[in-house]
């Protein structure tokens, strides 16, 4: 029996005068420590525990040339996270007015803000199709991958490095290696914002990104449905645990309006994300309707903010971009 087991299990013997209690368990006894710590002692222990745990964490290092990183996440797949990330990036690139977006994007002029889009959903990359991009990234003189460019947005994704129909059948270590390359071996140039499309869930990829680079804020995407909100809450709480500011929630697929009779139906429920935001003391950044145009624009590789910038759907993404920028901390000098 190891020394730590001898400290916990006593085969029928009792420990007296120790301030604890012995509870029978499987023929032995487990020592339950009953000492009460004062407030000062408890706080000291918390600080000490935090110091010990932080020793094994990687040191955060900014991505060269990137001023601010915004992660778009969800606890659950299928809630429109990638669609939101793409249209948010486009809205951020011309974050003044709908008319400016129309002028900048349609005329292929330089956007007012330099924005990049990083797809770290290794198993299910969506950005290549949504941004209508194909091809292998070129290498710079310093042997870094150059992002592919469309609609004024610099994009990088695992989808550029594998065949479109090839599944990625990797264990965790290979995934982490790929994430490290996507974070550190891309020549982004100079960016005002890098929007990161995270995979669903709260696993290794989310932790790796959060612990390796400084993140200005997280945007949580959810539908109003209870089953999606359960996981969205976990996503928000995860970012809080790793000290990433949560900028707010986006309520996606909030309402469906019949194109013929204009009747509105809350297919996934009404205002579920708003109730969750109040519970978590967070803001709602905006509502995105469930609309055929958004789906068709994404499938054809012409995001709604680019292809129909004057539509109500594009205006919803623009308002969300404005709310995101308002809540970001000042960029580092």
Separation CA 151–CA 27 (nearest Å): 69
Q: Provide the pLDDT for residue 170.
A: 83
The answer to pTM > 0.85 is no
Backbone angles phi, psi at 203, to 5 degrees: -105, -150
Sign of the alpha-carbon dihedral angle for 259, 263, 266, 270: positive
> Three-state DSSP class for 283?
coil
Q: Provide the pLDDT for residue 261.
A: 83
Q: Provide the pLDDT for residue 165.
A: 79
290, 253 Cβ separation under 8 angstroms: yes
Q: Provide the pLDDT for residue 238.
A: 92
Q: Which CATH number fits domain 67-327: 3.40.50.300, 3.40.1030.10, 3.40.50.1400, 3.40.50.720?
A: 3.40.50.300
Task: Locate the domains of the chain by residue range.
Answer: 67-327
Range with the lowest mean pLDDT among 32-46, 191-205, 280-294? 32-46
Sign of the alpha-carbon dihedral angle for 308, 312, 313, 319: positive
Distances (CA, A) of 149 to 115, 118, 172: 11, 12, 29
326, with CB counted inside 10 A (0-12, 13-18, 19+), is exposed
88, 320 Cβ separation under 8 angstroms: yes
84, 250 Cβ separation under 8 angstroms: yes
Mean pLDDT estimate for the chain: 82
pLDDT band at 326 (very low <50, low <70, confident <90, very high): very high
């Amino acid at each position: 029996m190891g020394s730590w087991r001898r400290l916990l299990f006593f085969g029928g013997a009792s420990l007296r005068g120790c301030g604890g209690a012995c509870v029978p368990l499987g023929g032995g006894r487990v020592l339950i420590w009953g000492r009460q710590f004062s407030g000062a002692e408890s706080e000291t222990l918390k600080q000490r525990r935090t110091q010990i745990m932080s020793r094994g964490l990687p040191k955060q290092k900014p991505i060269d040339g990137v001023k601010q990183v915004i992660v778009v996440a969800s606890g659950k797949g299928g809630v429109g996270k990638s669609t939101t990330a793409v249209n948010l990036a486009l809205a951020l690139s011309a974050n003044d007015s709908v008319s400016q977006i129309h002028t900048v994007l349609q005329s292929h002029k330089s956007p007012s803000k330099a924005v990049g889009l990083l797809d770290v959903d290794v198993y299910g990359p969506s950005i290549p199709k949504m941004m209508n991009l194909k091809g292998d990234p070129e290498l710079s003189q310093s042997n870094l991958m150059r992002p592919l460019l469309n609609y004024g947005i610099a994009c990088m994704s695992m989808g550029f490095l594998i065949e479109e129909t090839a599944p990625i059948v990797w264990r965790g270590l290979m995934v982490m290696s790929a994430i490290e390359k996507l974070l550190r071996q891309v020549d982004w140039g100079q960016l005002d914002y890098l929007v990161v499309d995270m995979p669903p869930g709260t696993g290794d990829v989310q932790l790796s990104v959060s612990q390796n680079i400084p993140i200005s804020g997280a945007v949580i995407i959810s539908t109003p449905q209870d089953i999606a909100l359960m996981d969205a809450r976990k996503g928000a709480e995860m970012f809080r645990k790793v000290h990433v500011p949560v900028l707010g929630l986006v309520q996606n697929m909030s309402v469906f309006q019949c194109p013929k009779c204009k009747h509105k139906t809350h297919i996934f429920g009404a205002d579920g994300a708003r109730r969750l935001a109040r519970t978590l003391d967070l803001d709602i950044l905006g509502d995105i309707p469930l609309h055929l145009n958004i789906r068709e624009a994404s499938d054809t590789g012409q995001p709604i903010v680019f292809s129909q910038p004057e539509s109500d759907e594009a205006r919803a993404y623009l308002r969300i971009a404005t709310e995101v920028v308002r809540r970001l901390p000042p960029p580092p000098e």
